[in-house]
Amino acid sequence: MRNSPDEYEVWPGRPAPLGAHWDGTGTNFALWSAGAHAVDLCLFDEDGTEHRHRLQENTHQVWHGRLPGVGPGQRYGYRVHGGWDPSAGQRYNPAKLLLDPYARAVDGDQTLHPALFGFRYEGGEGPDPRDSAPYVPRGVVVRDAFPWDGDRSPATPWSDTVIYEVHVKGATTRHPDVPPALRGTYAGLAHPAFVEHLQSLGVTAVELLPVHQFVSEPHLLRRGLTNYWGYNTLGYFAPHAAYSSSGTAGQQVTEFKAMVKTLHAAGIEVVLDVVYNHTAEGDHTGPTLSFKGIDNGGYYRLREGEPSRYQDYTGCGNTLDVRRPQVLALLMDSLRYWVTEMHVDGFRFDLAAALARSLHDVDRLSAFFDVVHQDPVVSQVKLIAEPWDVGPGGYQVGNFPPLWTEWNGRYRDTVRDVWSGARVGVRDLAYRLTGSSDLYRSDGRRPFASVNFVTAHDGFTLADLVTYEHKLNEDNGEDNRDGESHNRNWNCGVEGPTDDAEVCALRGRQVRNHLATLLLSTGVPMLTAGDELGRTQGGNNNAYCQDNEISWLDWADVDEDLRAFVGRLLRLRRESPVLRQEAFFEGHEVADTGGTRDLAWFAPGGAQLDTGDWFDNDLQTIGMYLDGRGIRHRDQRGRPVQDDSYLVQLHAGAEPVTVQLPGAPWADGYEFVVSTEWSTGAPPRPTAVAPGPIEVPPRCVWLLRVLRRP
């Protein structure tokens, strides 16, 4: 018969591994805290009754003990005793129940209450004495066994990868073919109705908005809102419990693993958007939930000369101090856990520049990069950086080291400028269309170092990008001050929704223009969930706190032609290696072709672009010729790869333009494959055209297959 929690013996246990680990007959608990005077392990019954056990052992700053009889499903937390001196960076307060940073499952949520805060929120000196336990989440002891049954990562090569950025809840909350009990959950994301949608598009990887356990900021709770996106992490090992349909006493771990296994079986990789740059505890006015109370100065970057305040490179109140070995170990332990135990296939690092700061500058050779590079597990998965933060010198697109790919913000800005009618010429566009060699070639990286995107979770949806010039974020409760104001966009002449058929048609074509540019570019394309469906957020370009119909995918209002357009382009991309180059173009002549080049650029008059054209900011028309006989990579058996040749004709001007399609040796004729003037991209019938003059409609992308005589 199980003992009462008050009667559990606390054996010495082991200092490693950190966290709570069940061995079949008991659980070992280990918590790092360099400055603590004492640590209490707190166990909770189902009804919330607390039982405290003092951990007597301290080895290398790790407090540890083993409790026989404690097993999976046990809720727990810590109370850490030590000095209270914020002016010296110390914020120990045993009145606050603290979540184990290594907890593998979390039960319960944060409830807004003054007891959340380590200091006296109403004023006064000293630590706040109120017990926070009723208002904060707790760790759960889990059993990690799962029947993976030979599960293997699809291990899709970077050059074949198509990323779909998606929110676990928002993906299926309104999906009519997903059972109501599964909507908005890990199981919902793995339901055939959603998986088949991904497969029909040609998606090879889902990039999940944060699924590490997170809580909402107090300022949102005070306004009756919540953090929807999840960039407010509290637990780096625990899948977010609210996305579980099966329970929160460890079942969320099993459900997450089952989701990964299902997606792998469908040929789809799972990439996690991870937030290792800051935590949910905010600045000096924020709550004490875990790290602050365990070892404030050990986990966070404190201001030099003012350790009662936090160095904030993230805009979220604090910055984790990755320079410290214990923090670096936490990050690496977390990454390895998600790969080895949860079978994920990669990570997208939010505000990655913050992780690279040694002192003040972003350091490409920081300890974080060094450790990742040599790690035998983490170095083998997909690594994507959001290459900026909010600190000085934080915009680092193109400056991350090999192994890393990057969200290419330059790509987004250039493509938006071109289609919004900005007079920016075609020089920068040519770089973006061909893998951004100006950013990634110098250090030996390949075109797939560039993750190309036009929209992301942060900003307008693609439909809104061509419908609104001004953000409408009033629902966020910040008087429309939040969100980006300079969006490089155009509303097609009317602000907001309209019944004007011509404006609606133009908006539809502009959406297709953005998507065609993205999916015909060399590099790794990233689609934002719902852009292929025509999703709108009603002009809100910062919907981080909108856990409602503003953010959720609306499966009752789907643009089927647009979905077919995206699927058509992705099938073409998958079948055409010339559109998925693994090496940068050289512009060299291709042998035995009569003078064609692997890459050539044509002006409207039919001549190849000259220096004057490249620096003509008024030029809005360009032809990109890709010769499928000049592909430089080989297949797995070392054989040359050959493909059809294509001419991409891009015209961003407001009026039609006559262009000269080049003749021999470039082509003997052309066949229309895709045009954005058609709602699905498909021509009404197979259409062949001869070299020579042809009128291109305003604001249009053509993809023409080169025809050659036998």
156's tokens? 């899709």
Question: Which residues have a Cβ under 8 Å from the Cβ of 376 and sit 6 or more positions away?
Answer: none
110's enclosing H/E stretch is none
Catalytic residue from among 386, 417, 598, 644: 386
Give the chain's radius of gyration (CA, Å).
Answer: 27
Catalytic residue (choose from 350, 428, 598, 627): 350
Q: Which residue has the tokens 């950086």?
A: 385
For the chain, how many helices (H) and strands (E)? 15, 31
Query: Residue 652: which H helix or E strand, with range?
Result: none
* Catalytic residue check, 386: yes
The first and second tokens of residue 564, run together, are 């077919």
Q: Which two tokens stand for residue 453?
A: 């995107």
Q: Please give the sequence-ordered ranges of beta strands (E in DSSP) within 281-421, or none if there are none.
A: 302-303, 306-310, 346-349, 382-385, 405-407
Dist CA 139 CA 513 (whole Å): 48
Of 461, 447, 599, 586, which is closest to residue 524 (Cα–Cα)? 447
DSSP result, 566-614: HHHHHHHHHH-GGGS-SS----PBPTTTTS-BSEEEE-TTSSBP-HHHH
Return d(Cα 538, Cα 315) in angstroms, integer.
26
Neighbours of 620 (CB within 10 A): 24
Q: Where are the beta strands (DSSP E) in 72-204?
A: 75-81, 84-85, 90-91, 106-107, 138-140, 163-166
Q: Using alpha carbons, select from 276, 149, 156, 127 the residue that is nearest to residue 212.
A: 276
Strand segments (E) across 446-604: 450-452, 524-528, 599-602
- Could you confirm whether 350 is annotated as catalytic? yes
Of the candidates 492, 536, 551, which has an alpha carbon nearest to the alpha carbon of residue 698? 492
Residues with catalytic annotation? 350, 386
